[in-house]
Protein backbone atom coordinates (compact mmCIF):
# COMPACT_ATOMS: atom_id res chain seq x y z
CA UNK A 1 0.00 0.00 0.00
CA UNK A 2 1.18 3.53 -0.74
CA UNK A 3 -0.55 5.06 2.27
CA UNK A 4 -2.75 7.39 0.22
CA UNK A 5 -5.68 9.11 1.91
CA UNK A 6 -8.56 7.97 -0.29
CA UNK A 7 -11.00 10.33 1.44
CA UNK A 8 -8.91 13.37 0.43
CA UNK A 9 -8.50 12.01 -3.08
CA UNK A 10 -12.28 11.65 -3.49
CA UNK A 11 -12.81 15.17 -2.16
CA UNK A 12 -10.26 16.52 -4.63
CA UNK A 13 -11.85 14.70 -7.55
CA UNK A 14 -15.27 16.12 -6.65
CA UNK A 15 -13.82 19.63 -6.41
CA UNK A 16 -12.08 19.33 -9.79
CA UNK A 17 -15.22 17.89 -11.37
CA UNK A 18 -17.29 20.79 -10.11
CA UNK A 19 -14.74 23.28 -11.42
CA UNK A 20 -14.55 21.65 -14.85
CA UNK A 21 -18.33 21.36 -14.97
CA UNK A 22 -18.69 25.05 -14.16
CA UNK A 23 -16.27 26.04 -16.90
CA UNK A 24 -18.11 23.84 -19.39
CA UNK A 25 -21.45 25.56 -18.78
CA UNK A 26 -21.95 28.34 -21.36
CA UNK A 27 -22.44 31.63 -19.54
CA UNK A 28 -24.74 34.26 -21.04
CA UNK A 29 -22.60 36.86 -19.32
CA UNK A 30 -19.66 35.86 -21.52
CA UNK A 31 -21.71 36.06 -24.73
CA UNK A 32 -20.96 38.70 -27.36
CA UNK A 33 -23.10 39.79 -30.28
CA UNK A 34 -21.77 41.86 -33.14
CA UNK A 35 -23.99 44.41 -34.87
CA UNK A 36 -23.08 46.71 -37.73
CA UNK A 37 -23.61 50.46 -37.75
CA UNK A 38 -22.08 53.69 -39.03
CA UNK A 39 -20.98 56.57 -36.80
CA UNK A 40 -22.47 59.35 -38.92
CA UNK A 41 -25.80 60.14 -37.28
CA UNK A 42 -25.33 62.48 -34.28
CA UNK A 43 -26.64 62.38 -31.64
CA UNK A 44 -28.04 58.89 -32.29
CA UNK A 45 -24.93 57.08 -33.55
CA UNK A 46 -21.69 59.02 -33.35
CA UNK A 47 -18.08 58.73 -32.24
CA UNK A 48 -18.22 62.34 -31.02
CA UNK A 49 -19.89 61.08 -27.83
CA UNK A 50 -18.05 58.61 -25.59
CA UNK A 51 -21.13 56.37 -25.32
CA UNK A 52 -21.48 56.17 -29.10
CA UNK A 53 -24.74 58.12 -29.11
CA UNK A 54 -28.30 57.54 -27.99
CA UNK A 55 -29.11 54.49 -30.13
CA UNK A 56 -25.78 52.86 -29.33
CA UNK A 57 -26.46 53.36 -25.61
CA UNK A 58 -29.95 51.87 -25.90
CA UNK A 59 -28.79 48.82 -27.85
CA UNK A 60 -25.82 48.20 -25.54
CA UNK A 61 -27.95 48.59 -22.40
CA UNK A 62 -30.67 46.29 -23.78
CA UNK A 63 -28.20 43.49 -24.44
CA UNK A 64 -26.57 44.09 -21.04
CA UNK A 65 -29.95 43.37 -19.40
CA UNK A 66 -29.62 39.77 -20.61
CA UNK A 67 -25.89 39.49 -19.98
CA UNK A 68 -24.74 40.04 -23.56
CA UNK A 69 -21.90 42.32 -24.63
CA UNK A 70 -22.46 44.43 -27.73
CA UNK A 71 -19.62 44.48 -30.25
CA UNK A 72 -19.76 47.17 -32.93
CA UNK A 73 -18.54 46.81 -36.48
CA UNK A 74 -18.51 49.92 -38.67
CA UNK A 75 -19.63 49.71 -42.27
CA UNK A 76 -21.21 52.09 -44.84
CA UNK A 77 -24.99 51.85 -44.81
CA UNK A 78 -25.46 50.44 -48.31
CA UNK A 79 -22.82 47.77 -47.71
CA UNK A 80 -24.40 46.88 -44.36
CA UNK A 81 -27.82 46.50 -45.96
CA UNK A 82 -26.41 44.23 -48.66
CA UNK A 83 -24.41 42.16 -46.15
CA UNK A 84 -27.59 41.64 -44.12
CA UNK A 85 -29.48 40.51 -47.23
CA UNK A 86 -26.77 37.92 -47.85
CA UNK A 87 -26.80 36.77 -44.22
CA UNK A 88 -23.15 37.78 -43.80
CA UNK A 89 -23.88 39.79 -40.64
CA UNK A 90 -26.25 39.27 -37.72
CA UNK A 91 -27.87 42.70 -37.60
CA UNK A 92 -27.51 46.42 -38.13
CA UNK A 93 -28.89 49.59 -36.53
CA UNK A 94 -30.64 51.91 -36.94
CA UNK A 95 -33.07 51.88 -39.84
CA UNK A 96 -36.43 53.40 -40.65
CA UNK A 97 -39.35 51.05 -41.15
CA UNK A 98 -40.27 50.18 -44.72
CA UNK A 99 -42.51 47.44 -46.10
CA UNK A 100 -39.58 46.00 -48.07
CA UNK A 101 -37.40 45.72 -44.97
CA UNK A 102 -40.20 44.14 -43.00
CA UNK A 103 -40.40 41.44 -45.68
CA UNK A 104 -36.64 40.87 -45.99
CA UNK A 105 -35.49 41.09 -42.37
CA UNK A 106 -36.50 40.58 -38.77
CA UNK A 107 -37.30 43.97 -37.22
CA UNK A 108 -36.91 44.81 -33.55
CA UNK A 109 -39.73 46.63 -31.87
CA UNK A 110 -39.38 50.41 -32.40
CA UNK A 111 -36.59 51.88 -30.28
CA UNK A 112 -37.38 55.49 -31.13
CA UNK A 113 -40.01 57.64 -32.80
CA UNK A 114 -39.69 61.27 -33.75
CA UNK A 115 -41.37 63.67 -36.10
CA UNK A 116 -39.37 65.06 -38.97
CA UNK A 117 -38.60 68.66 -39.85
CA UNK A 118 -37.87 70.45 -43.10
CA UNK A 119 -34.86 72.73 -42.63
CA UNK A 120 -35.13 75.22 -45.45
CA UNK A 121 -33.51 78.32 -46.91
CA UNK A 122 -36.94 79.25 -48.32
CA UNK A 123 -38.78 81.53 -45.91
CA UNK A 124 -42.35 80.73 -46.92
CA UNK A 125 -41.74 77.06 -47.62
CA UNK A 126 -44.88 74.96 -47.85
CA UNK A 127 -44.99 71.24 -48.57
CA UNK A 128 -45.52 70.22 -51.36
CA UNK A 129 -46.36 73.52 -53.07
CA UNK A 130 -42.90 75.09 -52.88
CA UNK A 131 -41.28 72.11 -54.61
CA UNK A 132 -43.64 72.41 -57.56
CA UNK A 133 -43.43 76.21 -57.72
CA UNK A 134 -39.62 76.15 -57.90
CA UNK A 135 -39.71 73.36 -60.48
CA UNK A 136 -42.18 75.28 -62.69
CA UNK A 137 -39.74 78.21 -62.71
CA UNK A 138 -36.89 75.98 -63.83
CA UNK A 139 -35.14 76.08 -60.46
CA UNK A 140 -35.87 72.79 -58.66
CA UNK A 141 -34.95 72.70 -55.00
CA UNK A 142 -31.99 70.57 -53.91
CA UNK A 143 -32.71 68.25 -50.98
CA UNK A 144 -29.77 66.84 -49.03
CA UNK A 145 -29.85 63.23 -47.84
CA UNK A 146 -26.74 61.34 -46.65
CA UNK A 147 -25.51 58.56 -48.92
CA UNK A 148 -27.00 55.24 -47.81
CA UNK A 149 -29.88 56.77 -45.87
CA UNK A 150 -33.47 55.94 -46.70
CA UNK A 151 -34.78 58.62 -49.02
CA UNK A 152 -38.33 59.53 -47.91
CA UNK A 153 -41.01 58.23 -50.25
CA UNK A 154 -42.18 61.73 -51.18
CA UNK A 155 -38.61 62.73 -52.12
CA UNK A 156 -38.01 59.57 -54.15
CA UNK A 157 -41.22 60.22 -56.05
CA UNK A 158 -40.39 63.88 -56.72
CA UNK A 159 -36.83 63.03 -57.75
CA UNK A 160 -38.09 60.45 -60.26
CA UNK A 161 -40.45 63.06 -61.71
CA UNK A 162 -37.69 65.66 -61.91
CA UNK A 163 -39.42 67.95 -59.42
CA UNK A 164 -36.43 68.08 -57.07
CA UNK A 165 -32.75 67.24 -57.08
CA UNK A 166 -30.98 65.23 -54.39
CA UNK A 167 -27.48 65.77 -53.03
CA UNK A 168 -25.85 62.71 -51.41
CA UNK A 169 -22.93 63.69 -49.16
CA UNK A 170 -21.37 61.14 -46.75
CA UNK A 171 -23.10 62.28 -43.54
CA UNK A 172 -25.95 64.30 -42.04
CA UNK A 173 -23.37 66.72 -40.64
CA UNK A 174 -22.24 67.33 -44.22
CA UNK A 175 -25.85 68.13 -45.14
CA UNK A 176 -26.01 70.77 -42.42
CA UNK A 177 -22.70 72.24 -43.56
CA UNK A 178 -24.12 72.46 -47.08
CA UNK A 179 -27.35 74.16 -46.07
CA UNK A 180 -25.45 76.51 -43.73
CA UNK A 181 -23.36 77.63 -46.71
CA UNK A 182 -26.19 77.70 -49.25
CA UNK A 183 -25.16 74.69 -51.36
CA UNK A 184 -28.49 72.89 -50.82
CA UNK A 185 -32.01 74.16 -50.17
CA UNK A 186 -33.62 71.53 -47.94
CA UNK A 187 -32.59 69.06 -45.23
CA UNK A 188 -35.20 66.60 -43.99
CA UNK A 189 -34.29 65.33 -40.54
CA UNK A 190 -35.57 64.14 -37.16
CA UNK A 191 -35.97 66.88 -34.59
CA UNK A 192 -33.39 65.56 -32.13
CA UNK A 193 -30.79 65.34 -34.89
CA UNK A 194 -31.67 68.88 -35.93
CA UNK A 195 -30.67 70.38 -32.59
CA UNK A 196 -27.54 68.27 -32.26
CA UNK A 197 -26.11 69.10 -35.68
CA UNK A 198 -26.80 72.80 -35.42
CA UNK A 199 -25.03 72.89 -32.04
CA UNK A 200 -21.99 71.12 -33.54
CA UNK A 201 -21.59 73.66 -36.33
CA UNK A 202 -22.27 76.70 -34.15
CA UNK A 203 -19.59 75.46 -31.74
CA UNK A 204 -17.16 75.47 -34.67
CA UNK A 205 -17.99 79.11 -35.32
CA UNK A 206 -19.94 78.40 -38.52
CA UNK A 207 -22.82 80.83 -38.88
CA UNK A 208 -25.64 80.10 -41.33
CA UNK A 209 -27.65 82.43 -43.44
CA UNK A 210 -31.37 82.60 -42.63
CA UNK A 211 -32.80 79.13 -42.00
CA UNK A 212 -36.44 78.22 -41.51
CA UNK A 213 -37.95 75.16 -39.84
CA UNK A 214 -41.19 73.53 -40.90
CA UNK A 215 -42.81 70.51 -39.29
CA UNK A 216 -43.36 67.70 -41.79
CA UNK A 217 -46.93 66.43 -42.20
CA UNK A 218 -47.51 63.11 -40.45
CA UNK A 219 -48.59 61.41 -43.67
CA UNK A 220 -45.17 61.74 -45.32
CA UNK A 221 -43.03 60.46 -42.46
CA UNK A 222 -43.28 57.23 -40.50
CA UNK A 223 -40.74 57.91 -37.79
CA UNK A 224 -40.15 54.52 -36.16
CA UNK A 225 -36.52 53.38 -35.84
CA UNK A 226 -35.51 49.70 -35.66
CA UNK A 227 -32.66 47.23 -35.57
CA UNK A 228 -32.68 44.96 -38.62
CA UNK A 229 -31.75 41.32 -37.96
CA UNK A 230 -30.92 38.73 -40.59
CA UNK A 231 -33.40 35.91 -41.22
CA UNK A 232 -30.81 33.42 -40.02
CA UNK A 233 -30.42 31.37 -36.86
CA UNK A 234 -27.93 33.92 -35.50
CA UNK A 235 -30.30 36.77 -36.37
CA UNK A 236 -33.26 35.11 -34.68
CA UNK A 237 -31.23 34.46 -31.54
CA UNK A 238 -29.88 38.01 -31.41
CA UNK A 239 -33.35 39.49 -31.91
CA UNK A 240 -34.84 37.35 -29.14
CA UNK A 241 -32.11 38.43 -26.71
CA UNK A 242 -32.38 42.07 -27.69
CA UNK A 243 -36.18 42.12 -27.44
CA UNK A 244 -36.06 40.57 -23.97
CA UNK A 245 -33.43 43.03 -22.81
CA UNK A 246 -35.23 46.02 -24.31
CA UNK A 247 -38.46 45.10 -22.54
CA UNK A 248 -36.57 44.92 -19.23
CA UNK A 249 -34.90 48.26 -19.95
CA UNK A 250 -38.24 49.94 -20.49
CA UNK A 251 -39.93 48.33 -17.48
CA UNK A 252 -37.13 49.43 -15.14
CA UNK A 253 -37.31 53.01 -16.37
CA UNK A 254 -33.79 52.79 -17.79
CA UNK A 255 -34.94 53.91 -21.25
CA UNK A 256 -36.11 57.21 -19.77
CA UNK A 257 -32.85 57.59 -17.83
CA UNK A 258 -30.77 57.06 -20.97
CA UNK A 259 -32.69 59.41 -23.23
CA UNK A 260 -33.18 62.29 -20.78
CA UNK A 261 -29.64 63.78 -21.08
CA UNK A 262 -30.10 64.03 -24.85
CA UNK A 263 -33.13 66.30 -24.38
CA UNK A 264 -31.32 68.79 -22.14
CA UNK A 265 -31.11 72.22 -23.72
CA UNK A 266 -33.79 71.61 -26.33
CA UNK A 267 -36.81 73.96 -26.38
CA UNK A 268 -39.66 72.59 -24.29
CA UNK A 269 -41.88 72.35 -27.38
CA UNK A 270 -39.41 69.98 -29.06
CA UNK A 271 -38.98 67.93 -25.86
CA UNK A 272 -42.75 67.52 -25.58
CA UNK A 273 -43.05 66.47 -29.22
CA UNK A 274 -40.28 63.88 -28.85
CA UNK A 275 -41.78 62.47 -25.65
CA UNK A 276 -45.21 62.30 -27.29
CA UNK A 277 -43.74 60.18 -30.08
CA UNK A 278 -42.01 57.91 -27.56
CA UNK A 279 -45.24 57.52 -25.62
CA UNK A 280 -46.87 56.34 -28.85
CA UNK A 281 -44.46 53.39 -29.02
CA UNK A 282 -44.77 52.64 -25.29
CA UNK A 283 -41.22 53.18 -24.05
CA UNK A 284 -41.56 55.96 -21.47
CA UNK A 285 -42.05 53.79 -18.40
CA UNK A 286 -40.60 55.43 -15.27
CA UNK A 287 -39.74 52.14 -13.58
CA UNK A 288 -42.15 52.63 -10.67
CA UNK A 289 -44.83 50.14 -9.75
CA UNK A 290 -48.26 50.98 -11.13
The pLDDT mean for the chain works out to 86
pLDDT for 287: 59
Partners of 33 in the beta sheet? 70
Q: Picking from 23-27, 60-64, 98-102, 121-125, which range would have the lowest pLDDT averaged per residue?
A: 23-27
pLDDT for 85: 97
Higher-pLDDT residue of 105, 99: 105
User: What pLDDT, in 10s, does the model give residues 191-244?
Assistant: 888 877 887 787 888 777 788 999 888 777 657 899 999 999 999 999 999 999
C-alpha radius of gyration, the chain, whole number = 24
State yes or no: pLDDT of 63 exceeds 60.
Answer: yes
Q: Picking from 17-31, 55-69, 116-130, 142-156, which range would have the lowest pLDDT averaged per residue?
A: 17-31
Confidence band for 269, pLDDT divided at 50, 70 and 90: confident
State yes or no: pLDDT of 158 exceeds 60.
Answer: yes
Higher-pLDDT residue of 273, 249: 249
Phi-psi bin for 31: left (phi > 0), alpha (psi -120 to 50), beta? Answer: beta
Contacts for 118 with CB less than 8 Å, ≥ 6 apart: 125, 127, 186, 187, 188, 213, 214, 215, 216
Closest CA to 210 of 183, 176, 182: 182
pLDDT for 50: 94
CA angle 70, 198, 112 (to 5 degrees): 40
Amino acid sequence: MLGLDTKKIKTGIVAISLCVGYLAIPSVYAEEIELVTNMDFPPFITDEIASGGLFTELVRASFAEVGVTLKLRLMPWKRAHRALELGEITGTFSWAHTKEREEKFLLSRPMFRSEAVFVSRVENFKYPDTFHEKHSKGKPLVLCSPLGWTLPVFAEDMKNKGVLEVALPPSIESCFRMIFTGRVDIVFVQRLALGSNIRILLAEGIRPGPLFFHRAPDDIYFGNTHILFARTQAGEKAKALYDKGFEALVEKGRYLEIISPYLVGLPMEIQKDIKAGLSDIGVLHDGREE
